[in-house]
Structure 1
Amino acid sequence: MAAYLLRRFLQAVVAIFGVMTLIFFVQRLTGDPTYLLVPETATKADIEAMRVSLGLDRPLIVQYLSFLWGILHLDFGRSYVQNVPVMTIIAARLPYTLELTAGALAVAALIGVPLGIATAMWRGRSQARGLMGFVLAAQSMPTFWSGILMMMVFGVWLGWLPPSGAGGWKNLIMPSVALGLLSMATFARVARTAVLDELSKDYIRSARARGVSTGRLVRRHLLRNASIPVISISAMEISQLLAGAVIVETVFAWPGLGLLTIQSITGRDFMVVQTIVLLGAFVTITLNFLADLLYTVVDPRIRLTGTPG
């Protein structure tokens, strides 16, 4: 198992380095931000002075090495637009995105997993077909459309919830549901498939033959044995939620990292954009590594073989 975890750790390090390199060079290909930071009346000398102050006059390889050196020292530079440390800006926005992601994950997991289990246990019944119809509808609806629809119905027409902005817990409801619907459908499908796979195994037939109740069968056997695919999809879905936050935060004017990303891309604030992307990549890779660790807890076979399964 130690060799397996070491291999996964090294893969994570290589992946993070690859993302750092890719985002640095892709950002530079989008154009020179200097022209957006100087007034329209600026002369060529003013533009060149701004470029020198930002360090953009140096050779690209020098900028890249300086970027890597700063990352190693947890120095992500200063915002080109606001002229403050990037981490100061991100620290102010990060709690909003974490709050939104946690709310969306709660919607996705607490609704999706029970739905998946129910549709598997009730397969062939009208209840299961009705629930799967709901799952399919949630999976088919684009995030931005569900967000706008909820905003119009519950925020404007009915006036039950604030249509946009951050504030109390009511402001969090619609963005969380809009962001979590697609992941909810994914959790439901994965949980259903995993439970159906377990129901076809001999130990389930033996338990039913002994008269074990359905509730105990689910709690004592099915949930643990079917949890590995759910753990795996959880790591990926959290990453998807972070990516989807860009759309939801823009629709609901939620002041998190997603909205900050759009604003920074529009203003070509390289330092802010590349730091947000690096943060997202680090979170995604870390979550997948933690999922590998959880595999060893849920499935003891991994501790012996060093591979999931």
Structure 2
Amino acid sequence: MVVFLAKRAGQALVAIFGVMTLVFFIQRLTGDPTYLLVPETATQEDIEAMRQSLGLDRPLLVQYLSFLADIVRFDLGRSFIQNIPVTDIVASRLPYTLQLAGGALFVAFVIGLPIGLILALARKYKSSNILMGVVLAAQSLPTFWSGILMIMVFGVWLGWLPPSGSGTFAHLIMPSIALGLLSMATYARIARSSVLDELSKDYVRSARARGVPQGRLVRRHLLRNSVIPVISITALEISQLLAGAVIVETVFAWPGLGLLTVQSVVARDFVVVQGVVLLGAFVTIAVNFIADILYSVVDPRIRLDGAGQ
């Protein structure tokens, strides 16, 4: 177990280092931000003074090492526009994105997994085809379109929910559903495929031959043995939710990291964009590391294979 965790931790650190390096050099390829921060009437001396204050006059290697040292100290720099630490800006918006991602995952789990189980166990009934059609329709809807549609129906026509903004639980309902619909459909398909695969195995046929009740068979065997693909897709879906939050937060004016990214891109506040990208990458790597640990707990064979490689 220790060897397995050490190997996975080493891979995660290499990935984090690679992301930091990539973000640094991509930012430098976008050009010199100095000209965006000085007025049009600025002289060459003013431009050089601004470059010196930003540390852009130093050699590229020195800038890179300074960048890595700042990241280790959790220093993401200062916003070009607001002139306050990026860490403070991100920290003020992060809780909103976590609320939205949590709500979307709740929608995906609570609706998607039971639907997948029903689709697998009731596959011989015609009604399962209708339910599968609903799942495919939910997966086909673009996130921005489902969000706008919900705003029109539930926010404008019916007036049941606030169409935008934040502050109450009611504000969270529509954004969570809009963001969670795609993940819900994915969970339903993965759960269906996984359960169908388990149903075809010998231990299930033997249990049914011994007269094991369907409910006990599902609870004691099918759910546990079908959970590994679900864990795997959860790590990927969290990354997808963070990416989809940019669209959903913009549509619903939800003040999270997604809306912050859009606003920073429009304002050309590249340091803030860099901070959000780094945070998203770190979260993705951390989630995948946790998923690896859960794999090894659910199925020890994965741990043994991973340690032996």
TM-score, with structure 1 as normaliser: 0.95
- Amino acid corresponding to residue 59 of structure 1 in structure 2: P
Q: Which residues in structure 2 correspond to 1:1-309 (within 5 Å)?
A: 1-306=1-306
Deviation digits for residues 59-81 of structure 1, max 9, x if unmatched? 32222111011112222221121
CA distance in structure 2 between the aligned counterparts of 1:35 and 1:198, rounded to whole angstroms: 61
Runs of 4+ in 1 over 6 A off after TM superposition: none
Alpha-carbon contact 2:231-2:291 (below 8 Å) kept: yes
Partner Cα distance (2:166, 2:151) in 1: 14
CA distance in structure 2 between the partners assigned to 1:282 and 1:41 by the alignment: 40
Residue deviations 1:100-120 (CA, integer Å, cap 9, x gap):
000000011111111111100
Structure 1 residues 307 and 247, CA gap change in structure 2 (3 angstroms): farther
The gaps in structure 2 that reach 5 residues or longer are none
The amino acid of 2:165's aligned partner reads G
The separation in 2 between residues aligned to 1:171 and 1:130, in whole angstroms, is 31
TM-score by length of 2: 0.95
Structure 1 position 48, deviation (Å): 2.6
Separation of aligned partners in 2, 1:191 and 1:291: 17
Distance 2:120 2:204 in 1: 14
How many residues are treated as equivalent by the alignment? 308
> Partner of 2:268: helix, strand, or coil?
coil
| C-alpha distance 40-168 of structure 1, shift in aligned 2 (>3 A) | same
- 2:4, 2:303 within 8 Å by CA — same for their partners in 1? no
Q: Is the 2:3–2:307 contact (alpha carbons within 8 Å) kept by the matching residues of 1?
A: no
The CA distance in 2 between the partners of 1:303 and 1:33, in whole Å, is 47
8 Å contact from structure 2 (residues 179, 241) kept in 1 = yes
For the residue of structure 2 that corresponds to 1:167, the secondary structure is coil
Moved more, 79-88 or 267-276: 267-276
**In 2, Cα distance between the equivalents of 1:265 and 1:60?**
24
* Structure 1 unpaired stretches of 5+: none
**1:54–1:80 CA contact under 8 A, matched in 2:** no
Q: Is the 8 A contact 1:175 1:252 kept in 2?
A: yes
Q: Is the 8 A contact 2:7 2:307 kept in 1?
A: no
For 1:48 and 1:165, the matched residues in 2 are separated by 42
Tell me by how many angstroms 1:86 deviates.
1.0
CA contact (8 A) 2:246 2:258 kept: yes
Give distance in 2, aligned partners of 1:213 and 1:126.
Answer: 24
